[in-house]
Amino acid sequence: MKTVSQFAAAVLAVVVICAAGMAQAAQPEPIRIYVDEYAEGQVMSHVAKTVIESEYDVPVELKTVAVGPAFLGVASDERSLFLVAWLPRTHGDYMDRVGDQVDNLGELFDGARLGWAVPAYVPKDQLASIDDMKKPEVVDKLGGRIQGISAGAGLMQVSKETIDAYDLDDDYRLITASSAAMTAALKRAIDNKEWIVVTAWSPHWMWKRFDLRYLDDPKGELGAREHVDAIASQGLAESEPEVHAMLKRMHYSLEQIDTMLLNAEQTSYEQAAQTFIDEHPDVIAEWTGQDESQASTQ
């Protein structure tokens, strides 16, 4: 027969197991942040993950996908985000498909830009605009190549339309690669003082690392200045109202983004995000509403 102490121990064990189960059951489902290969999306997603987990005790998972699946994922999920919706042009087609199924939380930063870029040492009198790329001597210098990024990126779709608009189809191939491969190709060309055209965007750390310039786009195919918005599942406002409110207050300056991207290139996305959080407590307080609560008590 069991002694009283053995019985008590058994009861205690059951209580502990039940309590652990209840605690696990009470743990909220993670918020999923879809992340594409844009560097600014990577680092902003890591910032959001850290702030949400530390300030609201809500788990967050990052899921790397192409842009199209990111928009579709937010539209179909109950608890998800995508923090790099380039509007109105670059991701406009995706937004048109799911706009009535997602919650646009507003602008994360303004002044984003797409374009084709060349190293500054490429003579402007020979190659200043996309129109100049039709010159036989320029085609030869560039090897008939435009260095692109991943096939699913909005910039690649816009670049294909640009090639058609400028009648460059017969002379150039748009090279598909990762963003890292694009910047590696750019660095190799610069090290050897070779000509190269890359699909580019701002913000990006390469503008701080290399001396580059955008080619003029007289037809306006690559678009004008854009803003980058955050989109969320429509159910997030109800399931996580505090997180939802924080995300609507989240905003960056271009200088902050550029600095984070340079730090990320030298360290990692995680480290660059943590450095931003450590160095900008006032910004985090504004996002989380702590500055308002502090002001009301004074």
For residues 276 and 140, membership in a common domain is answered with: no
Residue 181 clears pLDDT 60, i.e. is over it: yes
Place of tokens 């900008």: 280
Residues 106 and 237 in one domain: yes
Predicted confidence at residue 208, as pLDDT, reads: 87
Q: How many CB atoms lie within 10 A of CB 21?
A: 10
How many angstroms separate the CA atoms of 279 and 233, rounded?
A: 30
Residue 88 preceded by cis peptide, ω within 30: yes
CATH number of the structural domain spanning residue 73: 3.40.190.10
> In sequence order, what are the beta bridge partners of 102?
233
Mean pLDDT is lowest, of 3-17, 48-62, 165-179, 270-284, for 3-17
92 pLDDT more than 80 = yes
Q: Is residue 25 part of a domain?
A: no
- Of 214, 240, 262, the one marking the end of a domain is 214
Lowest mean pLDDT segment, chosen from 20-34, 117-131, 215-229, 245-259: 20-34
The pairing of strands 60-64 and 31-35 is: parallel
Q: What is the largest CA-CA distance in the chain?
A: 98
Q: Facing residues of 115 across strands?
A: 200
274 in the same domain as 150: no
The answer to whether the beta carbons of residues 133 and 142 sit under 8 Å apart is yes
Q: Between these two residues, 285 and 8, which has the higher pLDDT value? A: 285
Report whether pLDDT(296) > 70. no
- From 149, 182, 214, give the residue that closes a domain: 214
- The mean pLDDT of the chain is 89
Structurally, the chain folds into a number of domains equal to 2
Flag whether 7 is in a domain. Answer: no
Give the angle subtended at the CA of 80 by the CAs of 76 and 81, to the nearest 5°.
115
Q: Tell me: the pLDDT tens digits for 49-73?
A: 999 999 999 999 999 998 999 999 9
Q: What's the rounded mean pLDDT across residues 116-121?
A: 98
Residue 291 confidence class, pLDDT cut points 50, 70, 90: low
Contacts of 152 (CB under 8 A, 6+ apart): 36, 66, 67, 68
Residue 86 has pLDDT above 70, yes or no: yes
- Amino acid occupying residue 92: G
pLDDT at 5 (0 to 100): 54
pLDDT of residue 39: 87
Amino acid 293: pLDDT: 53
Residues 142 and 267 in one domain: no
Distance between CA atoms of residues 81 and 104, nearest Å: 10
Bridge partner residues of 109 (DSSP) = 228
Contact 146, 118 (CB under 8 A): no
**Can you give the C-alpha Rg of the chain in angstroms?**
24
Lowest mean pLDDT among 15-19, 79-83, 96-100, 141-145: 15-19
With a pLDDT cut of 90, the percent of the chain lying above it is 73
- Tell me whether residue 291 is in a domain: yes
Whether the bond into 203 is cis, omega within 30 of 0: yes
Torsion angle of the four alpha carbons 186, 191, 194, 200, in this order, in degrees rounded to the nearest 10: 20
Over residues 166-186, the mean pLDDT reads: 96
Considering the domain architecture, whether residues 92 and 144 belong to the same structural domain is answered as no
Say what the pLDDT of residue 162 is.
96
The per-residue pLDDT for range 210-253, each reduced to its tens digit, is 999 999 999 999 877 889 999 999 999 999 999 999 999 999 99
Q: Which pLDDT score, from 0 to 100, does residue 295 have? A: 45
pLDDT at residue 6, as a whole number: 53
Report d(CA 85, CA 273) in Å as an integer: 19
Ranges assigned E (strand) in 49-202: 60-64, 80-87, 102-119, 145-147, 173-175, 198-202
Residue ranges making up the domain that contains 197: 113-214
